[in-house]
Amino acid sequence: MFYDIFAELCKKSDISPSRAALEIGLSKSSVSSWKNSGVRPRFETLKKISDYFGVSVDTLVGDAREETPVYDGRLAFYGELKDHLTQDDIDDIEAIMRAKALRNIERAADDGDGEGKK
Each residue of 60-102: pLDDT tens digit?
888 755 454 545 556 566 667 777 888 888 888 888 888 888 8
Q: What share of the chain is helix, strand, coil (3-state, %, to 5)?
A: 65, 0, 35
Model confidence pTM above 0.95: no
Number of folded domains that form the chain: 1
Query: What are 54-68's pLDDT values in tens digits?
Result: 888 888 888 755 454
User: Which of 99, 100, 78, 101 lies closest to 89, judged by CA?
Assistant: 78
In a domain, 113, yes or no: no
In a domain, 117, yes or no: no
- 10 pLDDT band, cuts 50/70/90, is very high
In a domain, 86, yes or no: yes
Tell me, what CATH number does 12's domain have?
1.10.260.40
